[in-house]
A = this chain, B = another copy of it.
Amino acid sequence: MRQQDISGFFARASELDPEDYLLLDYYFECSGDPKIAAAHLCSEQSTAQWKRVDVDEDYRPRFAAKVIDLEVETELSSTSYLLDPPVAGPVSACRVRIAHPHRNFGPRLPNLISAVLGEGAYFAPDIPLVKLLDIEFPASFLAAFQGPGFGIDGLRKRWGIHGRPFFFGVIKPNIGLPPEPFAELAHQAWLGGLDIAKDDEMLADPDWSPLRQRSALLGEARARAEQATGVPKVYLANITDEVDRLLELHDIAVGNGANAVMVNALPVGLSAVRMLRRHAKVPLIAHFPFIAAVSRLPNFGVHTRVLTRLQRLAGFDVIIMPGFGSRMRVTEAEVLENVAACVDPMGPIKPALPVPGGSDSAATLERVYQNIGNVDFGFVPGRGVFGHAMGPRGGAASLRQAWEAIAAGVDVNEYARERPELAAAMEQFGRTG
C-alpha cells in the first residue's frame, strides 16, 4: 500500500455513524510499521481494491473498514509463536479497534464470519499473528436476528427452576449403550433430582441408538419421572447431524417428548442453527466441539467470547462452554468473560444461560457458584452424576444436597456427614476440582 493510501483506512470514531459499523477488537503482531499493517488489516477485510483502473473513484469512504484506535502494546524480538515459514526479526504487538461497515454484507452469519475472520484478518500483509478479541454489534444489525427464543427467564418459567442453578447431567456411558438402559439411567437421575438429562455431544443418531427410538424411550421415562416427582423434567436430545436433517430430527425428538435439543454449534455451523431457531419449538442448547481449535492460544485465532456472542445471536438459549476445571485449559477470567457474553445487554437479544462445564460434580459446585456469583448458570456433570458410586440417582441427589448446603451457607463437607450420596461424591470426586 502506498503511503498516501493509508489515510483512507483511518477515521475518528466521532465521524462515523455508529449504526453503520461493527466494532472489532483485534490483537496482532506485525513486522514493520503498525499503521501500515493496520491499514492492510482493514483493506483486506473490506475493499481491497477501492477503484477501477483509470476511473476516478474511491469506495473507501462508504465501504472501507477503518482503524479508529491503534495502540502498540510492546515490541517483541520475534513472533509469540514460531511459524513455518518463519517470520524474521522483531515484531510490534498491537491492539486495534476497527469499525467495519456491515453494509458490505448485511446481517448474515457466514458473511460476517468471512469478513472478520477470513482472508482479510489472517492474510493481511505483515501480520503473521492476529486474534479477534471482541465484537460489538449496533442495534441496526441486531434487529435482524431473533436470538434466544426463551432466554433465562423463559427457561426458568418453562422448566420451573427458580432461585438456583439448572442441574444438567450428561448420560454416560455416552457411546455404545443401547436406548433402553440409557433411558433407565436418565430416569434414575431425574428421580434423584436432576433437572435436565442430556445426550453426550458425540451421541447423535447412530444405528445402535437411533434418535427416534431413543427419544421415544426418554420421552416416556421423562413423563414417568415428572409423575413420580411432581416437577418438570427435561430430556435434552442431541440432534447434531447433517444440516438437512436438523428440522426433521427436531420434530422427531420433540414429537417423542424431548423438550430441548442440542446442536454442536461449529461442526453444524452457526447459520444452520439460525435456520433451526426459526423452526424450533423448544429451547436450543449449544455444545462446543472445535471451538478450542481456534481459541486456545492467547495470541492467535479468535477469543471464545466472540464465538459465545455469535452463538447467542444465532439463537441458542443455553451455551455449554469450557468451564473452571483444570482439564478445560481456560482461565477463570476467560470463563467469566464468556458468562458475561451470555448475559450482557445486547439490544433486543435475550440472554442465554451459561453452562461452564468440564469434570464437574457435587465437589465442584461451590467453586463454580462462587466464581459466577449468582444462580443464573447451568451445571453439567457427566461422571459426577452417572459415574457416581451409588449410580445416577445418587449422583443427582448429591448435586441437590450440595446445593442445599451452599444455599443454606453450610459447609458442604459438614452437610455430607448425614447425606450418604453427597458424602460418596465428595469422597469419589473431591480430589479433583
Contacts and interface: CB of A to CB of B under 8 A. Distances in A.
Contacts of A81: 80-81, 297
Nearest to A53: B391
Name the prevailing secondary structure of the A interface residues: loop
A205 interface: yes
B104 A289 contact: no
A293 B294 contact: yes
A268 B120 CA distance: 17
A173 B50 contact: yes
Contact of A290 (B114, B298, B330): B114
A48 interface: yes
Interface string A386-418: 111111100000000000000000000000000
Nearest to A290: B117
B109 A242 contact: yes
Contacts of A386: 49, 53
Contacts of A48: 172, 174-175, 200, 382
A264 B269 CA distance: 12
Nearest to A104: B175
A301 interface: yes
Contacts of A47: 173-176
A118 B201 contact: yes
B62 A176 contact: yes
Given A104-B175, A123-B329, A322-B123, A202 B242 contact: no
Interface stretch (A6-14, A17-25, A270-278): A270-278
Interface stretch (A82-90, A217-225, A228-236, A342-350): A82-90
A155 interface: no
A431 interface: no
A201 to B, nearest CB: 6
Interface size class of A (residues with CB under 8 A): 35 or more
Given A83-B296, A108-B204, A243-B269, A173 B52 contact: yes
Given A82-B80, A201-B118, A243-B243, A176 B322 contact: no
A267 to B, nearest CB: 4
A181 B360 CA distance: 59
A202 B293 contact: no
Contacts of A244: 271, 274-275, 278
A122 interface: yes
Nearest to A182: B52
Given A49-B387, A206-B105, A242 B275 contact: yes
Interface string A87-129: 0000000000000000111101111011101111111010010
Contacts of A103: 206-208
5 contacts: A106-B204, A109-B242, A128-B329, A293-B294, A294-B294
4 closest A-B pairs by CB: A269-B269, A118-B289, A59-B176, A122-B292
Given A106-B206, A118-B267, 17 more contacts: A47-B176, A49-B173, A50-B173, A53-B390, A53-B392, A63-B175, A80-B82, A105-B206, A108-B205, A110-B242, A111-B202, A114-B289, A123-B327, A123-B358, A243-B274, A268-B271, A269-B269
